[in-house]
Amino acid sequence: MGRHLDPDNLMPELAFDEDELRDHRLGHPLAGVLPVITKLLVNDADDDSGMLVAVGDAMGRLLWVDGDRHLRRRAEGMLFVEGAGWSEREVGTSAPGTALELDHGIQIHAAEHFNRLVHPWSCTAVPVHDPETRQIIGVIDITGGPQAVASHALPLMEATAAAVESEIMVQRLRAVADRRFAGRARTDAPRRTTTVRPGLQVLGRDTGLLVGHGASRPTELSRRHAEILTLLAWHHQGLSADALAGLLYDADEAAVTLRAELVRLRKVLGGTAPTLVPASRPYRLTTPLQLDAHQVLSLLDRGAHRAALAAYPGPLLPDSTAPGVVDLRDRVATRLREAMLTDASADLLHDYIRTAAAPDDVEVLHACLRLLPPRSPKRAGLVARIEAIDAELSAS
């Protein structure tokens, strides 16, 4: 039988007392990945942000609420607090409950809420899934004024959920590796295998780091081997020997050199990641390999610029001179720069300037100056950097 809800007389119920809430939070799978949510969302929801960040379980019960403390006090009036139940069954249409009900991200503007007490608020929420079973394990919500349902809010929240799910998977892989090393002597004990798509980390690194490929720990690859796998992962349809050689070398004997290098790469992968051994004619990977550069571009395509910047530790194989890698490095860096110049807020653009991606980019510095408020304390540092760059150019 359905439950009758009165939009004028409706309050969530407190599902936990203080001790129960503490125990439930400690045992919840999202407890271990709160630093990811903090980095991507909560750090921007400070005391003057006008924004709250809430994390709930799969039943819509709020486990953590953080952000603007003045707003938190206001939210107590509608019992938007830790321990309260915000499922659709309890409060009708609201971002946390409706996102869980529909199993996808959603934005609820002001009067779209069922409960009239919530009409002054707007919110965006996304469900979080177990990375292996894909079952819903929780929900992430931002609540506040109109900025909580801005056009960039939903892509940012979706990217945050994706980052959380990836971190859960990484932590599980580490735990599996730790158990394997601890129990190496017990050869008769059955081992649980975890299936996860392998990935290659090449951003901000001189070598490649292969993860999630079935080995007990990540595998470090030489720069040349990382270059080959990066190019094959990017050109997933495959490359002829001449095409791959041309992307790696400028020498006349490139094809001969490539064959020798592939023999060495196959030997390395054969012992650690046999599913990633390249096939021939054309050279290709038969198992998909996810580059961390792919993730950055995917986040940018979804409008999740802050998450993309957080996922960009630096240029792709920065010391590589392979023509194909240089081209990919420039593509990713240019795409990130264009997104920052076109769509980033003043604070995000300032964060971008502080990275190695744009240390002396005068155009970016000027763009940030235009966006910053006239009395922002950040302006002085930017002006000093611009003047220093101009002076250096004049001297040369």
- pLDDT 10s digits, 196-224: 567 888 998 889 988 876 655 788 899 99
pLDDT of residue 222: 92
Residue 343 burial by CB count (10 A; 0-12/13-18/19+): exposed, middle or buried?
Answer: middle
Where do the structural domains in the chain lie, given as residue ranges?
18-170, 197-296+307-329, 297-306+330-395
Q: How far apart are CA 89 and CA 68, in angstroms?
A: 28
Task: Give the phi and the psi of residue 197 in degrees, each rounded to 5.
Answer: -70, 125
Secondary structure E strands in the chain: 51-57, 62-67, 106-108, 122-129, 136-144, 199-201, 208-211, 219-221, 290-291
pLDDT of residue 177: 67
- Tell which residue, 143, 87, 115, has the closest CA to residue 5: 115
- Alpha-helical regions (H) of 183-253: 223-234, 241-248
Q: Which residue has the tokens 């980033």?
A: 344
* Close Cβ partners of 246 (under 8 Å, ≥ 6 residues apart): 254, 323, 324
pLDDT of residue 47: 58
pLDDT of residue 238: 92
pLDDT of residue 317: 94
- CATH code: domain 197-296+307-329 is 1.10.10.10
Task: Give the phi and the psi of residue 203 in degrees, each rounded to 5.
Answer: -85, 130
What is the pLDDT tens value at each position of the chain, 396 positions in all? 345 677 777 677 888 888 888 888 888 999 989 888 888 887 766 556 788 999 999 999 999 998 888 898 899 888 899 999 999 888 888 899 999 988 899 999 988 888 888 899 999 999 999 888 888 999 999 999 898 998 888 998 999 999 999 888 888 887 776 666 665 545 554 444 444 567 888 998 889 988 876 655 788 899 999 999 999 999 989 999 889 999 998 765 676 788 889 999 999 898 888 888 999 889 999 988 889 898 888 888 877 787 788 788 889 999 999 999 999 999 999 999 999 998 888 888 888 888 777 768 889 999 989 998 888 888 888 898 888 888 888 887
Homologous superfamily, domain 18-170 = GAF domain (3.30.450.40)
